[in-house]
């Protein structure tokens, strides 16, 4: 998986494994672009603007560096799903949502630290 389109599709499909609403149409709607435009991103026939690239990375819980092939490690929250299953039978849906939100906040903090280091 070397190009942007392949990485983009793989990240969306990881999300779709857990939640079937992660279709191309769903992502396109969230980004404010036509589905055909988003499909072209995944196929590699069109490149998003920098602003759209940032939105894509945030939406998919990954980094622009990963999507662009500058970093081979995706911080996608689905990567922790197996670790998070320990004790899952005693957790409520609200507990899971809270844990996901806290992890999302951690990822945002981590991105901010990286951004500041780059200044």
Return the axis-axis angle of helices 4-18 and 35-43, rounded to nearest 10°.
120
pLDDT class of 75 with cuts at 50, 70, 90: low
Share of the chain above pLDDT 70, in %: 82
pLDDT in tens, 77-98: 444 544 454 555 566 778 778 8
pLDDT in tens, 24-40: 999 999 999 999 999 99
From residue 60, how far is each of 26, 86, 116, 117 by CA, in Å?
12, 24, 22, 23
Instruction: Please name the fold of domain 4-118.
Output: 434 Repressor (Amino-terminal Domain) (1.10.260)
pTM, rounded to two decimals: 0.62
Residue 52 and residue 47: Cα distance in Å, rounded? Answer: 9
Residue 12: closest CA among 23, 3, 4: 23
Instruction: Answer for the pair 58, 112: CB distance below 8 angstroms, yes or no.
Output: no
pLDDT of amino acid 119: 62
């Amino acid at each position: 998986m070397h190009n942007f389109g392949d990485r983009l599709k793989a990240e969306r499909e990881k999300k779709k494994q857990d939640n079937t609403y992660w279709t191309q149409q769903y992502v396109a709607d969230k980004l404010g672009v036509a589905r055909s435009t988003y499909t072209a991103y995944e196929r590699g026939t069109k490149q998003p603007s920098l602003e759209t690239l940032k939105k894509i990375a945030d939406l998919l819980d990954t980094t622009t560096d990963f999507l662009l092939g500058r970093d081979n490690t995706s911080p996608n929250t689905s990567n922790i799903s197996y670790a998070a299953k320990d004790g899952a039978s005693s957790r409520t849906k609200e507990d899971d949502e809270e844990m996901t939100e806290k992890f999302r906040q951690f990822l945002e903090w981590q991105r901010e630290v990286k951004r500041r280091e780059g200044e």
